[in-house]
Amino acid sequence: MRISKDAARHVAELSMIEFKEDELEKFTEQLGNILEYMEKLNELDTSHVEPTFHVLELSTPLRDDVVKPCLSSDEALESAPQREEGFFAVPKFIED
Amino acid sequence: MDLPFLTIREVSELIKRGEISPVELTGSILSRIEGVNGRVHAYISILKDEATDAAKEAEKLISSGTYLGPLHGVPISIKDIFVMKGTRTTCGSKILENFVSPYDATVVEKLKRAGAIIIGKNNMDEFAMGSSTENSYFGPTKNPWDLERVPGGSSGGSAASVAASLCFASVGTDTGGSIRQPAALCGIAGLKPTYGRVSRFGMIAFASSLDQAGPLTKTVEDAALMLNAIAGGDPRDSTSVHIPVPDYTRCINDGVRGIRIGVPREYFINGIDIEIEKSVKAAISLIEDLGGSIEEISLPHTEYAVSVYYILAPSEASSNLARYDGVRYGFRVSDADSLRDMYMRTRAQGFGAEVKRRIMIGTYALSAGYYDAYYLKAQRVRTLIKRDFDEAFKRVDVIMTPTSPEAAFKIGEKTGDPLRMYLSDIFTIPCNLVGLPGISVPCGFTSSGLPIGLQILGKPFDEETLLRVAHNYEIHTNWRERRPPI
């Protein structure tokens, strides 16, 4: 399936990745080729087949609600690109 | 004695008897890394100081009479996808170039507890996305057998470090073949355990329903020793399975008489390299000579596996990689004028092309209007692939196939054509989709001297039979006597 450059641009925005125009053009073509290959799956009738989201029988294990040692705020902030007063700092995103 | 060329089993005997010290052994590996790694580029970080300290610690403990087992004092490496406290963990990406982890992955914790010396962190395709290790932000790893060729991927640094004797073993990860394919291309053993056998805690996520950690080693027995150390349920990974861990070396010396081997006709197709087909068929005949029974089987949905995988893995990745936003750790652009601008440009500059491509594919497949046609469709076909294996394993104990349709290819040969690169994984992917254990062991060389891998797939949580068959094959062949010319 071919996809349009506009569709690719929309996906890029959903993905939160900025692309230059020439980059986007190349990606549009590559995505189209890859999706075309995926079309192969339409050869199969799967209307009566259940999906396998996970190979294991998953359960949600519970543990006792007991406080255990965890990272200190300093340790958690150690790799932050920018921090202020014990918090992660980001550019302003609420308008005045 | 040329220490770096020995196996874990061999050096551990020497350490146990006090004939060599962990400090001496670690020194011998570090000096080999110094001499050889520049040409191979198997490591992103070399932990010289940490390893030397750990070796001294091991030496003290052993000389005071406390011997922790076969990994005690043995230098090994880990793929740079496992976080390790106080060291840089990059996952092969610019976005994590300077990330220092505040904690240890469970695999790292277990290796340390077993006394292993972690000597370095291996190069890899960025976020484990690739089949050649060319997608690393830190530059490609070279195949020790031919420096103009790729080592496979994504655990290419791990495989090259073992093949070039720059460590005694490595732990890699396998989402669609990333342990087995590089093991095949570098002429070593590589084991992907059953999904859930090894904890994923602290292992940077690519596709959470497929990712699994496992060892790359010089011999099958060494793979069993490594699996002994890293396997087991973990309260910090809800998908790890809490069933007892056997001693994986216990049964490997049992013969293969009576073992039923399935050979799927769909894996011997047009397009597979003729020399590879010949070597794999010869390996199957040898197992038959040793008392195994061979049966042709069919896995009819094999040809759909690549499509299923390249929908599901990118879908899971697009969600997992949303966390790299420049807020809590890693790279951030410095001049953003809004939060959104920061996200968009941080990710544009922090991720490489293949990672962006997969995030885009996954986001598309999960987006409104396409979810049913791609993601759900792929999950349904995954069921059909699983049924193929369920049926097959009613009749056979293990399945034998080639690991890769071709030997190591030239650096740069496939980078322009993503789809062609994806097809490198055609024989390794189905195993991940179904969660099975699989191993690759060397089974010969091409006429130009490149290694060929035999893949053996087993029933879920039956790594013992897998290792037993692989070990029997290995000890009746002498492929291991050849060493890469480096």
Q: Do residues B385 and B304 touch, judged by C-beta distance below 8 A?
A: yes
Residue A88, min C-alpha distance to chain B (Å): 6
HSE (CB half, 13 Å, CA atoms) of B215? 28
Residue A96 has pLDDT above 70, yes or no: no
Using DSSP's 3-state secondary structure scheme, residue B170 falls into: strand
Q: If you average pLDDT over residues B407-429, what whole number do you get?
A: 92
Residue B481 has pLDDT above 60, yes or no: yes
In tens, the pLDDT along B312-341 reads 999 999 999 999 999 999 999 999 999 999
Q: If you average pLDDT over residues B300-323, what whole number do you get?
A: 97
- Confidence grade of residue B418 (pLDDT, cut at 50, 70, 90): confident
When CB atoms are compared, the residue of A30, A37, A81 closest to B357 is A30
Q: Do residues A81 and B334 touch, judged by C-beta distance below 8 A?
A: no
Residue B88 has pLDDT above 90, yes or no: yes
In tens, the pLDDT along A32-74 reads 999 999 999 999 999 999 999 988 877 788 889 999 999 999 9
Q: If you average pLDDT over residues A62-88, what whole number do you get?
A: 92
In tens, the pLDDT along B358-375 reads 999 999 999 988 999 999
Nearest residue to B402 via CA among B289, B275, B227, B276 = B276
When CB atoms are compared, the residue of A44, A78, A92 closest to B100 is A78
The segment(s) of chain B belonging to CATH 3.90.1300.10 are 3-259+397-481
- Confidence grade of residue B344 (pLDDT, cut at 50, 70, 90): very high
Per DSSP bridges, beta strands B189-192 and B260-264 are unpaired
| Cβ count near B10 (within 10 Å) | 16
Give every strand in the sheet of B260-264, ordered side by side.
Answer: B43-46, B117-122, B75-79, B169-174, B212-217, B189-192, B438-445, B451-458, B398-402, B260-264, B293-297
Average pLDDT score over chain B = 96
**Rounded to two decimals, what is the model's pTM?**
0.97
What pLDDT is recorded for position A66?
A: 94
HSE (CB half, 13 Å, CA atoms) of B461? 13
CA atoms B311, B320, B135, B188: torsion sign: negative
A55–B386 CB contact, under 8 Å: yes
Residue ranges of the domains in chain A? 5-43
Share of chain B above pLDDT 90, in %: 96
Using a CB-CB cut-off of 8 Å, the residues of chain B touching A54 are 209, 239
Helix axes B106-113, B220-230, angle to 10 degrees: 110
What pLDDT is recorded for position A1?
A: 62
Q: Rounded CA gap, B12 and B37, in Å? A: 24
Residue A62, min C-alpha distance to chain B (Å): 9
Q: Rounded CA gap, B436 and B434, in Å? A: 6
In tens, the pLDDT along B47-59 reads 999 999 999 999 9
Nearest residue to B455 via CA among B146, B131, B192, B164 = B192
DSSP B372-427: IIIIIHHHHHHHHHHHHHHHHHHH-SEEEEES-SSSPPBTTSSTT-HHHHHGGGTT
Joined together, the tokens standing for residue B453 give 């891998």
The catalytic residue among B45, B131, B155, B178 is: B178
* Domain B3-259+397-481 class, CATH top level: alpha beta
Q: Rounded CA gap, B332 and B236, in Å? A: 29
Q: If you average pLDDT over residues B28-53, what whole number do you get?
A: 98
- Confidence grade of residue B419 (pLDDT, cut at 50, 70, 90): confident
What pLDDT is recorded for position A2?
A: 79
What pLDDT is recorded for position B142?
A: 98
Backbone angles phi, psi at B330, to 5 degrees: 80, -170
